[in-house]
Amino acid sequence: MNIPDQARVAHATLSPDKVMSKLVSLAKRRGFIFPSSEIYGGLSSCFDYGPLGSEMKKNVKDLWWTSMTRKHQNIVGIDASIMMNPTVWEASGHVSSFNDPMIDDRTTKRRYRADHLIENHIEKLRRDGREEDAHRVGASYERASEAENQNRAFYDIIITEEIKAPDTGSSDWTEVRQFNLMFQCNMGALADASGIVYLRPETAQGIFVNFHNVRESGRMRVPFGIAQIGKAFRNEIVKGNFIFRMVEFEQMEMQYFVKPGAQEEAFEAWREERFNWYVERLGIGQEKLHWYRHDKLAHYADLAYDIKFAFPFGIEEIEGIHSRTDFDLKQHQEFSGKNMEYIDQATNERYIPYVVETSAGCDRLFLALLCDAYNEDVVDGEQRVMLKFSPKIAPVKAAVLPLMKKGEMGEKAAGLRDALAGDFLVQYDDAGSIGKRYRRQDEIGTPFCVTVDHQTLEDETVTVRHRDTAAQERIGISKVKEFLYANLT
Ligand code: ATP
């Protein structure tokens, strides 16, 4: 790209705690994210994507889908149903093990994660310089986590340490109980146990139960992968941080089936590929991404890493990469009575494949992209807010701005808008000063503004303004589409 002269841009330093509240208000004001059913007071941890948010989310999903399916000859996609035969969740272990230890405060009727209360207490002891106490409680907590009666052990720590609710200071505690995160609903006319179905808590199981369907219909040979984007539901008690932890969210998951023994190599390859995806395809700064290796593994995994992002509120997971062994297929074989083995055509070997999973949260990634892009600076002496999105995911790709509304300038600008509309999402804006119109586009992350002005009428050229540098260049009006293709993809 021919980078033209830069305008005078000075970058502001932002305090991290302010960024979140600014982002939440910008997201609502400009139509990225609204609170769900807001006119009725909303619903905790539920959000709606507005016109710009839904465009951008679609861009993120398309990018993931292309990278994970079309660019790999041996990975195909599916779109499984959200509700499944309830035995699926018995086989997967979710009915018995997808639990959090919860404790209620009788006075305030609020519910808390018992393990989080203890962890925060240990943290506070440390902050207060009471290292010895922190160490002592930490040791009891470790023993309690392994105890047969974990609930009782957690309860004892909370009572002995006189741990209080962080928000109310109250401590009228009930016993600790395991609380299952799956949403239950009733299918059909009967409200008894025979009609219970679950809203899926992960999309992965829809892939496992379709293992043979996909393999046979696509004549797939191990190693191969199945990818899926879809909604998952978790009755999360601890909510918060905008769209970071929701009860209804979208996952982008891929299960990669390999021969037993080949899982470690595949795991390493996927670890590298997924990390690079964030940096190279989405343009997220490498310094904001972190690896975390799990010590405590989920019931199905023998190795697990998270890719974490430095959010303003802390470094938190956006994607999990799990070596799921042959756990899921074996369980489905046992519970369904159907053979889940794969027969290698070349060698006649029979085995249940091992699985490497890459599981990203679309909404968490969306939040990471918003945080990564948020920028305040001063351009030519004027303060502006800018979302510095990679052009690939920016919702609006270009704005067409006639310097004057009426007459030939307006007509030419409308013609340009129509010529671009079939290829890109473009906005047409003829209201207010040109500076104001630029600011409006900067705030939603539009990479380019194309202005039709007096000179256009003389020589058929337009001004193209670059979002990040505020620099401008002139190109022929007939070259704008070509320019956008060259700079957006
Ligand atoms: P956490 O520890 O934060 O609850 P998790 O380890 O349970 O997450 P996974 O089961 O590995 O998450 O799910 C894969 C991805 O799905 C996560 O990396 C995250 O991006 C996303 N995800 C999980 N739970 C939620 C949620 N409640 N809201 C939004 N996204 C979620």
Q: How many residues does the chain have?
A: 489
Residue nearest to atom 2 of ligand 1 (CA): 317
What is the CA(359)–ligand 1 centre distance, in A? 8
Q: Does 359 contact ligand 1 (Cβ within 6 A)?
A: yes
Ligand 1 centroid, distance to 371 Cα (angstroms): 18
DSSP SS3 for 314 = strand
Nearest CA to ligand 1 atom 1: 317
Q: Do 33 and 87 belong together in one domain? A: yes
| Inside any domain, residue 292 | yes
Measure Cα distances from 486 to 202, 343, 344, 397 in Å.
38, 47, 45, 12
Q: Give the Å distance between the CA of 249 and the centre of ligand 1.
A: 9
Q: What is the DSSP letter of 44?
A: T
Q: For residue 131, how far is its CA from the centre of ligand 1 (angstroms)? A: 32
Statement to judge: residues 88 and 113 lie in one domain: no
Ligand 1 contact, 113 CB (< 6 A):
no
Q: What is the CATH number of the domain that holds 414?
A: 3.40.50.800
pLDDT at residue number 1: 36
Kindly give the confidence (pLDDT) of every residue in the chain, 489 residues in length, as a single tens digit, with 9 standing for 90 and above: 333 334 444 555 567 668 899 999 999 999 999 999 999 999 999 999 999 999 999 999 999 999 999 999 999 999 999 999 999 999 999 998 899 899 999 999 888 999 989 999 998 999 999 999 999 999 999 999 888 899 999 999 999 999 999 889 999 999 999 999 999 999 987 667 778 999 999 999 999 999 999 999 999 999 999 999 999 999 987 767 899 999 999 999 999 999 999 999 999 999 999 999 999 999 999 999 999 998 878 778 889 999 999 999 999 999 999 999 999 999 999 999 999 999 999 899 999 999 999 999 999 999 999 999 999 998 878 889 999 999 999 999 999 999 998 899 999 999 999 999 999 999 999 999 999 999 999 999 999 999 999 999 999 999 999 999 999 999 999 999 999 999 987
The reply to whether 145 and 134 lie within a common domain is yes
Q: Is the CB of residue 47 below 6 angstroms from any atom belonging to ligand 1?
A: no
Query: Does residue 385 sit within a domain?
Result: no
Write the residue with the smallest CA distance to atom 16 of ligand 1.
361
Does residue 366 line the site of ligand 1, with CB under 6 A? no
> Is 261 a domain residue?
yes
- 403 is written with which tokens? 């310097």
**466 Cβ closer than 6 Å to some ligand 1 atom:** no
Asked if 187 and 323 sit in the same domain, the reply is yes
Domain that holds residue 172: 99-176
Q: How far is the CA of 320 from the centre of ligand 1 (A)?
A: 8
Q: Which long-range contacts (CB under 8 A, 24 or more apart) does 276-280 make?
A: 277/64, 277/67, 278/307, 278/318
Distance from CA of residue 381 to its chain's centroid? 36
Q: Are residues 340 and 481 in the same domain?
A: no
Domain count, the chain: 3
Task: Tell me, yes or no, whether 92 and 104 share the same domain.
Answer: no
CA angle 246, 249, 253 (to 5 degrees): 135
User: Which residue from 36, 359, 365 has its CB within 8 A of the most atoms of ligand 1, so it is best to mutate?
Assistant: 359
**φ, ψ for residue 171, nearest 5 deg:** -150, 45
Let me know whether 157 and 66 are in one domain. no
Burial of 19 (0-12, 13-18, 19+ CB in 10 A): middle
* Residue 280 DSSP symbol: I
What is the per-residue pLDDT for 13?
59
Asked if residue 76 is part of any domain, the answer here is yes
- Same domain? For 240 and 309 the reply is yes
CA-nearest residue for atom 20, ligand 1, is 361
Q: Are residues 140 and 239 in the same domain?
A: no
Q: Spell out the residues 6+ positions from residue 334 whose beta carbon is closer than 8 angstroms to its own.
A: 91
Is the C-beta atom of 317 inside 6 A of ligand 1? yes
- In this structure, the residue with its CA closest to atom 19 of ligand 1 is 361
137: domain CATH number is: 3.30.40.230
Between the CA of 361 and the centroid of ligand 1 the distance, in Å, is: 6
Same domain, 334 and 272: yes
